Amino acid sequence: MKKNKNLLVAAAALVCCITLVWFSASIRGDQKTYELRPQITVPEYKTDVARIIDAYERLMERYMNLTEGNLTGIGADLNAVTRKLDSMDAKLAELSARTEFLTIPSSSM
């Protein structure tokens, strides 16, 4: 019986060792092979004419944006000048109305 008990303890120890080795291998993990597929794209080939046309389009876009900004500024300035001229016209009309009563007829002289 003692022999069976020793044999059972040895078997249990062996099972524990095998389980321990198996868990340590699973914790560490197996070496895996990864396949990498880099996403490298090559830009399309452009001729000199295509590059010139692209540069011209960019230049014209910048020119149009600059012109639009300048025209907006001119419009704001024109509105300010129009308000000032309207104010001057109103003042001149008021002054003309006041001086109309003060004028002496030239025939009486």
Q: pLDDT tens-digit profile of 86-101? A: 999 999 999 998 888 7
Domain that holds residue 55: 47-102
Residue 27 lies in a domain: no
Residue 6 lies in a domain: no
Residue 10 lies in a domain: no
Residue 35 lies in a domain: no
Cα(72)–Cα(76) distance, rounded to whole angstroms?
6
Residue 30 lies in a domain: no
Q: How many domains does the chain have?
A: 1
Residue 57 lies in a domain: yes
Residue 108 lies in a domain: no
Q: Which residues of 12-21 are buried (b: 16+ CB within 10 A; e: fewer)?
A: eeeeeeeeee
Name which of 11, 34, 32, 14 is nearest 22 in CA terms: 14
Per residue in 20-76, pLDDT tens? 777 776 555 556 777 888 888 888 888 999 999 999 999 999 999 999 999 999 999
- What pTM was estimated for this model as a whole? 0.40
